[in-house]
Amino acid sequence: MKIINREQDFFVHHRTVSAVKRVEFVSNRVTYILQRGRWCNIFVLNVHAPSEEKSDDSKDSFYEEIEQAFYHFPKYHMKILVGDFNAKVERKNIFKLTVGNESLHQDRNDNGVRITNFATSNKLVFESMMFPH
């Protein structure tokens, strides 16, 4: 089954369609799906961040949408944040627990700062940067 929004898609395997509890298109940049898991519900937030050239207002409203969707569900749900953040995240020891050592960038951009701050404040980790590519 394919759930389509203009910017984000979810592909749900036919064996797990019955576990889908809720799908919501928050905006053209933020979509989530909630599935029933064996021990807890699984909340997957799929996002497409504004590009680096966009205004701070559009970036602020994007992160407000993410926060509202993210905080809408209880802490005991497994929460997974995926998508395109249009971010460069640098390797820095201060953020090692959140970012890891394997970022491909030596510098950062505004989107990188924003997603790093969001991840750090919500005790999230960048799994894609924890291991060598």
The model's pLDDT over 8-53, given as tens digits with 9 standing for 90+, comes to 677 788 888 899 999 888 888 888 999 999 899 999 988 898 988 8
Q: What is the pLDDT of residues 53-94, one digit of tens each?
A: 899 999 999 999 999 988 888 888 888 888 888 876 666 655
Helix or strand run (H / E) with residue 9: strand 9-11
Helix, strand, coil shares of the chain, percent, nearest 5, are: 30, 25, 45
Residue 86 region, left (φ>0) first, then alpha (ψ -120 to 50), else beta?
Answer: left
Q: In degrees, to the nearest 5, what angle opens at C-alpha 91 toward C-alphas 29 and 53? A: 35
Closest CA to 40 of 76, 81, 79: 76
Q: Is 130 a residue whose pLDDT tops 50? A: no
Buried b (16+ CB within 10 A) or exposed e, 61-89: ebbebbeebbeebeeeeebebebebbbbb
What is the pTM (predicted TM-score) of this model? 0.76
- What was the pLDDT predicted at 62? 92
If you average pLDDT over residues 112-132, what whole number do you get? 72
E-assigned strand segments in 56-133? 78-84
What token pair was written down for 80? 């997974």
Q: What is the pLDDT of residues 91-101, one digit of tens each?
A: 665 555 555 55
